[in-house]
Chain A
């Protein structure tokens, strides 16, 4: 950015596609979950949001997609800007229409609908012709050939990996510009995970979809992203280009399980040291 003071409009292609500025989230009016998180996702980028269970990754994504409102959560401070527009007054449906789609943790397929019905519902917000929808469906099947074989099966009965594919495919049907992808690795075998991350990479390259990827699997997430944020206790404690984070000794020790003295588990890390280094 050349001039930080100029407001970025929707047509300004230079600003980030998404930015969250110092957002604070409170659940049930009392529980402070996010304590001032700032992050941004550049146009065409894959940004990783890392951290342990309960660090606030999912809450951050839900705050961005506005699904939080339905769960007694509330953004009490800060702002979220998507494509140059402040999103505060928009509904989740408005955001999907603008191309910001979330793939939730745990897949959340419509279990009693067939795979194809799941995918078709992904295009709910699109007012497009039958032919256009068909074309997008074919494209989705091209990315996920397994889903074509399972198209008439109820989504509740397909495998976890296929459900993850259905969830991503369903988001793809909305013709997204940005996907908030929450914990795709959950419960998946490494080989499947590699397949899914491979597709994420392709969607990023070929469809120009940007990703904000929340992951506990730090290794895989850093490998497939350009930039990463590490979240701990509702705060960003570290950020940087993904290669740098991979090389960082703290990340290695606490998230990748590689200490200076060889392999070590997260459990062995001295708790006081982590706090001292990152929170002081």
Chain B
């Protein structure tokens, strides 16, 4: 019986930490869906948002104000990215756009360091980080709160995409740029909107990760975990990002605990990538990836 409880504990812990991967993957998926760009800078955006938030907080602002200011900064960033980078790259091959986002990543990293310095900042949002006994199973309270935040965010995005005109326009542009142009949807509005939403997601991710690990540059590397998440879940699917994150989180913890002893540990770091490779071989579009609709 203890064996089972232990298994459940590892599983639940994994799932909960997986929601954090989902959060980062979500930002990638949004931009990829609307513009076909794999935004390498998403991880840096998470870091940049967290740094800005902590910076404003340390200036003495209350948390809510700091969040609003940071969000405004992310929206300005979205405008700037569209105006100064992508407007000049319409119709370039995807790989060129991808390269531009690599440049953007380094730029943002440098900018963040210049403004807010390089030391590690502690971020305490007052989320309790104690163990909580659910019957015989121990779970982290922090992870529970984080998971709830992610769930709320996803539900909100779902409503936004289904019911608002801008949300529908974003999905429309993701489907067919030309059709969107032909009915008068200005692509640059849509790009600014989607980068703003991705900036918002980055802010939430930055706050959660930042208060877990401290706000430091390794946060931008956490984003690398989003890659297997997206490969498993599918690059174009929001539910895919969620489920992918859960799978990665659960599987890496289970692998570490149950397979680790046989190979000397350290599985956690590479197991998700191996899983992603398997998925690529079996189902290249990912579990929820949109298959190209073909009528026969």
- B-binding residues in A (CB < 8 A): 65, 67, 70-72, 91-93, 95-97, 101-104, 108-113, 117-118, 120-122, 124-125, 154, 156-157, 159-160, 167, 170-171, 174
Contacts and interface: CB of A to CB of B under 8 A. Distances in A.
Nearest to A158: B295
Given A113-B168, A113-B172, A125 B91 contact: no
Interface stretch (B36-44, B179-187, B253-261): B179-187
| Interface range for B | 20 to 34
Given A70-B178, A110-B172, A121-B172, A96 B183 contact: yes
Enumerate the 9 nearest inter-chain pairs by beta-carbon distance, A residue then B residue, closest first. Answer: A96-B184, A156-B293, A108-B179, A125-B184, A110-B175, A93-B184, A93-B186, A110-B172, A102-B182
Contacts of B180: 110, 121
Contacts of B185: 93, 121, 124-125
Contacts of A70: 90-91, 177-178, 181, 187
A122 B168 CA distance: 11
A65 B172 contact: no
B182 A112 contact: no
A95 B184 contact: yes
A111 to B, nearest CB: 5
Interface in B139-188: 165, 168-169, 171-172, 174-187
Contacts of A65: 182
A67 B175 contact: no
A88 B76 CA distance: 30
A38 to B, nearest CB: 24
Interface in B179-224: 179-187
Interface of B: 90-91, 165, 168-169, 171-172, 174-187, 290, 293, 295
Contacts of B90: 70
8 contacts: A93-B185, A96-B183, A101-B182, A110-B180, A112-B174, A121-B172, A159-B295, A171-B182
Nearest to B179: A108
A160 B293 CA distance: 13
A104 B182 contact: yes
Main secondary structure on B side of the interface with A = helix
A92 B181 contact: yes
A113 B175 contact: yes
Contacts of A122: 183
Q: Which of B171, B180, B181, B293 lies at the interface centre, i.e. has the most chain A CB atoms within 10 A of its CB?
A: B181
Contacts of A67: 178, 181-182
B181 A112 contact: no
Contact of B175 (A102, A111, A160): A111
Nearest to B90: A70
Contacts of A124: 165, 169, 183-185
A269 B148 CA distance: 73
A92 B168 contact: no
A82 B184 CA distance: 16
Given A110-B171, A117-B168, A104 B178 contact: yes
Given A124-B185, A125-B184, 13 more contacts: A70-B177, A95-B184, A102-B182, A110-B171, A112-B293, A113-B171, A117-B168, A117-B171, A121-B169, A124-B183, A125-B183, A157-B293, A157-B295
Contacts of A96: 183-184
B168 A103 contact: no
Contacts of B186: 91-93
Nearest to B182: A102
A108 B175 CA distance: 9
Contact of B183 (A72, A154, A170): A170
B188 to A, nearest CB: 9
A159 B175 CA distance: 18
A120 B175 contact: no
A208 to B, nearest CB: 20
A109 B168 CA distance: 13
A112 B168 contact: no
A111 B168 contact: no
Contacts of B295: 156-157, 159-160
Residue of B176, B180, B184, B185 with most chain A CB atoms under a 10 A cut-off: B184
B184 A112 contact: no
A170 B182 CA distance: 10
Contacts of A159: 295
A258 to B, nearest CB: 35
A97 B184 CA distance: 7
A101 B182 CA distance: 7
Contacts of A71: 91
B183 A174 contact: yes
B290 A112 contact: yes
